[in-house]
Amino acid sequence: MSATQDHVAVPAERRDAPAEIDSAQFRAAGHALVDRIADLLASISDRSVTPHTTPSAIRARLGDGRLPEHGSDPVALLDEATSILIDNSTFNGHPRFLAYITASAAPIGILADLLAAGINANVGAWQLAPAATEIERMAIRWVADFIGFPTSCAGLFVSGGNMANMVCFLAARTEYARRAGWDFRTKGMSVDGAARLTVYTSADTHTWIQKASELFGLGADAVRWIEVDGELRMRMDRLRERIAEDRRAGYRPLMVVGTGGSVGTGAVDPLPEIAALCRAEGLWFHVDGAYGAPAARVPGVPPDLAALGEADSVAVDPHKWLYAPLEAGCVLVREPETLRAPFSHKPTYFHFEGLAEDPPINFHEWGPQNSRGFRALKVWLAFQQMGRAGYTKMIGDDIALARRMYERAAAHPELEALTCGLSITTFRYVPPNLPSSLAPEERSRYLNDLNEALLTRLQEGGAVYMSNVVIDGAFALRACIVNFRTSVADVDAIPDLVAREGRLVAAGMA
């Protein structure tokens, strides 16, 4: 069937497309943009980490908010957009951005994203992106190799840690259904016993696990949050007890999630013991290594990270400790078919078959997306620029700097050092004149309020940007170093800076 619309004019033989920019103009605009980005990177250490602005001020800078009826000069537009972003952004590439686990973007990754956008490959099918698909396959193997996971695994790049963990969750659920003889893909969670599935994880695990349980039909009540010990690691005795209790109550344990570097403190669960328990119980063993997995082979890290290679699946975030620009998450699953099984469809409008003797991989069959951007290029190029040795050195330097910060905080008379795990250090400000007569509850409440107000002041000040964590009820300042620009000088300056600002906040609360 077809339809015609007589009132629609046919374009002229030489089409006038408002989206086009001629090559000379594109080259000039591109060179100017690269120059400005290079200037930004060269001067980033001298800038404020955060902008001194407000939502209304930024909205005013963006204009009246009305959709333009007619277009404008692209070179001028790009120049103005660059100024707006440079003037009004929080720079996670700044050496004193020590807050959330977002790394400084390696310059080669910045250029890689430009190249990827220029090619605009749809890495959903091999025929649509031959080179990009093979580059992604190679980059996946390199990530696996770097963290000690079998390179025979399957994987793909996704947006970040949440999605990487969720894809692994679906692989685990599908594999359980296969073993149980359940037809999840047709009948969903209505199959007998599916409503009794349970998953086990540390009380300090990232909230992605709750999102996954809610989105994929198990419900939030299916998550068993296992208590942690004094080092904030999952307690194996409680894990064993809870699995046994659930089996007796008629539940169906599905998987255990071990944390390879918690978001709050960098704690690493007892992964070898979890692996052994999962083998004995017939459970899927998944590791949330979004943050810590790249450190697995770095000298001096917790030896438990070596057990990443024993997992059924691992989530890794290259835009965390592999210094890739956002977005880049990586799914790794030991047995390729367990990753393909939840996602493979062959609709009639797809014809992506290849030669039987050299079959292509079509990533739309390995994950939730059909259309997929070329995220792998920045990871692939960075591995070639830095090599295993380069990455190991930079990650090791980040860890050493975090330990130095812990030592400096512990030695400072006005700071109380709390934890140091991987490249995360936590501490809090404690005024030297704090009355000893305060009851424990009053002291705790006062210090929590003080440090919360101090964090806000530090974040707004722009000299350093930290985040927070609550440890045994104590509100603590949290410094996470996944930043190849952070130096010894930056680390050594922070304790005195925090103490100086802490005095001001304490005086204001007096």
pLDDT of residue 438: 85
* 253 DSSP 8-state letter: E
Domain extent for 139:
122-373
Counting the structural domains of the chain, the total is 3
* 443 within some domain: yes
Cβ neighbours around 439 below 10 Å, total: 8
Its pTM stands at: 0.93
Cβ neighbours around 410 below 10 Å, total: 15
The H-or-E segment that residue 279 falls in is helix 271-281
pLDDT in tens, 35-59: 999 999 999 999 999 999 999 999 9
CA nearest to 26, candidates 131, 132, 114, 85: 114
> Torsions phi, psi of 342, nearest 5?
-75, -15
The CATH number of whichever domain residue 460 belongs to comes to 3.90.1150.170
pLDDT of residue 43: 96
Q: Are residues 292 and 256 in the same domain?
A: yes
* 124 DSSP 8-state letter: T
Helix axes 161-180, 208-215, angle to 10 degrees: 50
Q: Are residues 344 and 435 in the same domain?
A: no
Give residue for tokens 């290594």.
Answer: 289
Cβ neighbours around 186 below 10 Å, total: 8
359 is written with which tokens? 């079959």
Q: Are residues 291 and 183 in the same domain?
A: yes
Contact 104, 485 (CB under 8 A): yes
User: Using CA atoms, how far apart are residues 387 and 93, in angstroms rounded to an integer?
Assistant: 21
pLDDT of residue 187: 84
pLDDT of residue 356: 67
* 198 within some domain: yes
pLDDT in tens, 72-129: 999 999 999 999 999 999 999 999 999 989 999 999 999 999 999 999 999 999 999 9
* 1 within some domain: no
* 17 within some domain: no
Task: Determine the length of the chain.
Answer: 510
Q: Are residues 360 and 445 in the same domain?
A: no
- pLDDT under 50 in the chain at which residues? none
Q: Are residues 291 and 342 in the same domain?
A: yes
Q: Are residues 41 and 79 in the same domain?
A: yes
* 6 within some domain: no
User: Using CA atoms, how far apart are residues 141 and 359, in angstroms rounded to an integer?
Assistant: 18
User: In terms of DSSP H, where are the helices of 89-160?
Assistant: 107-119, 130-147
User: Using CA atoms, how far apart are residues 465 and 86, in angstroms rounded to an integer?
Assistant: 17
User: Using CA atoms, how far apart are residues 281 and 241, in angstroms rounded to an integer?
Assistant: 12
Q: Are residues 76 and 155 in the same domain?
A: no
* 179 within some domain: yes
* 232 DSSP 8-state letter: S
* 231 DSSP 8-state letter: T
Write out the E strands in 190-310. 197-202, 223-226, 252-259, 284-288
Domain end call among 75, 91, 107:
91
* 464 within some domain: yes
Q: Are residues 71 and 127 in the same domain?
A: no
Q: Are residues 472 and 398 in the same domain?
A: yes
Handedness of CA 47, 50, 55, 56 (dihedral sign): negative
pLDDT of residue 4: 55
